[in-house]
Amino acid sequence: MRAIVVRAPGGPEVLELGEAPDPVVGETDLLVRVRAAGVNRADLLQRLGRYPAPPGESPILGLEIAGEVERSGAAVAGSFAPGDRVMALLGGGGYAELARVPAAQAMRIPRGLDFAQAAAIPEAFLTSWLNLFLIGHLSAGEAVVVHAGASGVGTAALQVCRGVARVVFATASQRKHEACLSLGATHVLRREDVHLRLKDSVQQAAGGQGADLIFDLVGGAYLEANVAALARDGRLVCISTLSGSKATLDLGAVLYKRLSIVGSTLRSRNAEEKAKLVADFTARGLPRFESGELRPVLAATFPLADAAQAHRRMESDDVVGKLVLLV
């Protein structure tokens, strides 16, 4: 099959359309003809040689796809049939014509969405679902902060919070504020003001209280401001360290305010954990796409052969939502 191969670790120019062996599919897997593949920051790190695929996963880049089932493994033939339109979370192997998909990580594409839109769903929405609800325990009426609200993950997180949280506070580059507001943010703050103004701005938005939950992918540079902005019993869920991983932590504030700080990665979770997450999202999240309450935010598509261009675009930070490769 054709696939994007990484000539050697390095910049986007090392990505080339080449040949790779067809995936080997097990009893509980689907063989999927990939029509679209989502681009993720993890792919950029993997291309640089800094984030190798977990053992047993394809070394080809790509953590999410949408396409058509070609063949089902014997143990899952009753669940998916050839021709079914699916989207899926992968441990690797998305930038290719064919992918091995554990059936428990596949979801039927909601009515009305094309393959490119569907490929923009799994990573962003499953990450948001996991960290806001299952780890962050977001409850009705709470005040939540979503950092980098216009990022791929952020655009999903804002929508997931809408209708649940009382205050949805987004931070982002100012040119992305309109997008954040249209996706469910009730308040916005410029990224360069987080350090000095997060606490006061959140308190103003939340009627004098701090944030109950902060969903953060910026990391080190925001830690102090996050701890200061959290309310008593507040939770900070860190999913990335885009600004770096080192910071000073005021443990006194953590004790005094009884804060919880949790880190989480999706890719490293085992098959059972991923299956549980996908099942929960399929039951409670997917119907909300058909009602129009949730929608994938697709910033741009690129032909598979132009994967390097898609990586450059992601590195530029000039994106609201997701980038997708068309296969």
Ligand X SMILES: NC(=O)c1ccc[n+]([C@@H]2O[C@H](COP(=O)([O-])OP(=O)(O)OC[C@H]3O[C@@H](n4cnc5c(N)ncnc54)[C@H](OP(=O)(O)O)[C@@H]3O)[C@@H](O)[C@H]2O)c1
Q: Is 40 left (phi over 0), alpha (psi -120 to 50) or beta?
A: beta
Q: Which is nearer to ligand X, 3 or 237 (CB)?
A: 237
From the list 318, 316, 327, 307, the residue with the least C-alpha distance to 47 is 307
The enclosing H or E element of 157 equals helix 152-161
Determine the length of the chain: 327
307 binds ligand X (CB under 6 A): no
> Using CB atoms, what's the residue nearest to ligand X?
151
Determine how β-strand 322-326 pairs with β-strand 298-303.
parallel
For the record, the structure tokens of 96 come out as 């290719």
Q: Which is nearer to ligand X, 239 or 294 (CB)?
A: 239
Q: Are 304 and 37 in contact (CB under 8 A)?
A: yes
Question: Which residue from 32, 65, 211, 242 is in contact with ligand X, where contact means CB under 6 A?
Answer: 242
Question: Which residue from 28, 79, 173, 309 is in contact with ligand X, where contact means CB under 6 A?
Answer: 173
For the record, the structure tokens of 31 come out as 């063989």
217 binds ligand X (CB under 6 A): yes
Q: Which is nearer to ligand X, 218 or 327 (CB)?
A: 218
Separation between Cα atoms, residue 85 and residue 233, nearest integer Å: 43
| Residues 257-286, mask of contacts with ligand X (x by CB under 6 A) | -------xxx--------------------
Phi, psi angle pair for 292, to nearest 5°: 85, 0
| Residues 39-78, mask of contacts with ligand X (x by CB under 6 A) | -xxx------------------------------------
317 binds ligand X (CB under 6 A): yes
Q: Are 231 and 256 in contact (CB under 8 A)?
A: no
Question: Which residue from 191, 274, 295, 311 is in contact with ligand X, where contact means CB under 6 A?
Answer: 191
User: Minimum distance between the CB of residue 16 and ligand X, rounded to whole angstroms?
Assistant: 22
The site for ligand X (CB under 6 A) is made up of 40-42, 123, 127, 148, 150-154, 172-173, 176, 191, 217-218, 221, 239-240, 242-243, 264-266, 314, 317, 319
